[in-house]
A = this chain, B = another copy of it.
Amino acid sequence: MALIVQKFGGTSVGTVERIEQVAEKVKKFHEAGNELVIVLSAMSGETNRLIDLAKQISEQPVPRELDVMVSTGEQVTIALLAMALIKRGVPAVSYTGNQVRILTDSAHNKARILQIDDQKIRTDLKAGRVVVVAGFQGVDEQGNITTLGRGGSDTTGVALAAALKADECQIYTDVDGVYTTDPRVVPQARRLDKITFEEMLEMASLGSKVLQIRSVEFAGKYNVPLRVLHSFQEGPGTLITIDEEESMEQPIISGIAFNRDEAKLTIRGVPDTPGVAFKILGPISAANIEVDMIVQNVAHDNTTDFTFTVHRNDYQNAQQVLEQTAREINAREVSGDLKIAKVSIVGVGMRSHAGVASRMFEALAKESINIQMISTSEIKVSVVIEEKYLELAVRALHTAFELDAPARQGE
């Protein structure tokens, strides 16, 4: 018997039929003797419908009141699932964030969970009831309704699992696990049985949008075993956990992440004086533009070149800011490129393996793919390349690091 927190997202509860399917699934787990806490999102589309309604009143709806509205989405699904469970003879009860009491700070629309009162839930679990909790929402010290921001239901699931010291937090989605890379790009991509929190964070932030980043951070911090599974297909999914095995067999890299959301900006011929990086990036940050990769090379003739990437949506804005800066600091020129892609290899195994980066560069060189920027961290190496080579690069790296799935029997 285990205590399991299961989270189902918006598409998994998008229709009454789907809610009935979820109820069937939960019933099986309950009959197998597990203690269950189910966390739900709103029906897919409902949160957007509510936000649209609010925007008809005001382009910038008051955050406190927006939370009062959008939190109703999950309130509907928890009641529906509780009804569907009770109909099947499974004792169940639903709770809003306020009823559980999921205490958050008062940052409306992007609140952070401070504390969870587990008393009610424990009483219900002891009494054999399945507890259905509204994801994404909480309540602040003053009793105001708060929401955690997009994808916050994952965070609710992990936070509940941490508070209850659950054996596992299962996140049900529309994919059957975390893959070595996007199967649409590399048909040989494999589902990973296991991945560490750190690797998942790098994979997630680099564009494998299976889990909300905050929930992975949370799970790592409290060491909550997290499992990604498909809502309506059987399978073991992918377990995200701490790296406790020191297996000889551990692969050097776990996966390949990529994204095409970024654009590159370069300012050339910058007089190489102390504080120049701040002079360049200060105004960018002041314009509320987030910067991802930053590369500055050693100076030449007392000038240096400085390159960074921003989200493509911020490209024009960033370019204008940068040109202004260039005039002020007497830089030679500003150039930019929208047609870039970032490809990263991720794996805790690379910590103990030299030569991972060079193996990556070799694989790309073999395909004559030019590397424009390089950035490294302890468990990842990222490169920026021309966008048109993205798929080729990902496939080459997938093979070079021996991630390809063995051909199945009969194939």
Contact = CB atoms under 8 A, between A and B. Distances in A.
Interface string A57-75: 1100110111011011001
A365 B34 CA distance: 76
Contact of A62 (B16, B50, B68, B86): B86
Interface in A229-253: none
Interface string A176-218: 0000000000000000000000000000000000000000000
A16 B56 contact: yes
B80 A75 contact: no
Max chain B Cβ within 10 angstroms of own Cβ: one of A19, A61, A80: A80
Nearest to A23: B57
Contact of A75 (B57, B62, B72, B78): B72
Interface string A77-98: 0111011101100000110101
Contacts of A57: 16, 19-20, 80, 83-84, 87
A276 interface: no
B56 A68 contact: no
A143 interface: yes
A48 interface: no
A198 B53 CA distance: 42
A23 B407 CA distance: 66
B53 A76 contact: yes
A3 interface: no
Given A58-B84, A58-B87, A98-B98, A65 B53 contact: no
A356 B87 CA distance: 57
Interface of A (DSSP majority class)? helix
Interface residues of A, number: 36
Q: How many identical subunits does the complex contain?
A: 2
A293 interface: no
A143 B68 contact: no
A50 B43 CA distance: 13
A143 B80 contact: no
Contacts of A20: 57
Contacts of A80: 53-54, 57, 65, 69
A79 B65 contact: yes
A394 to B, nearest CB: 43
B50 A76 contact: yes
B58 A83 contact: yes
A96 B57 CA distance: 20
Given A19-B57, A57-B20, A83-B57, A68 B72 contact: no
A76 B72 contact: yes
A99 interface: yes
A65 B50 contact: no
A220 to B, nearest CB: 33
Contacts of A56: 16
Nearest to A139: B99
A78 B68 contact: yes
A65 B94 contact: yes
Contact of A99 (B16, B78, B84, B143): B143
Given A98-B98, A99-B143, A68 B61 contact: no
Contacts of A58: 83-84, 86-87
A143 B53 CA distance: 29
A66 to B, nearest CB: 7
Nearest to A16: B56
A78 to B, nearest CB: 7
Contacts of A143: 99
A129 to B, nearest CB: 12
8 contacts: A20-B57, A54-B83, A57-B83, A58-B86, A61-B83, A65-B94, A72-B72, A98-B98
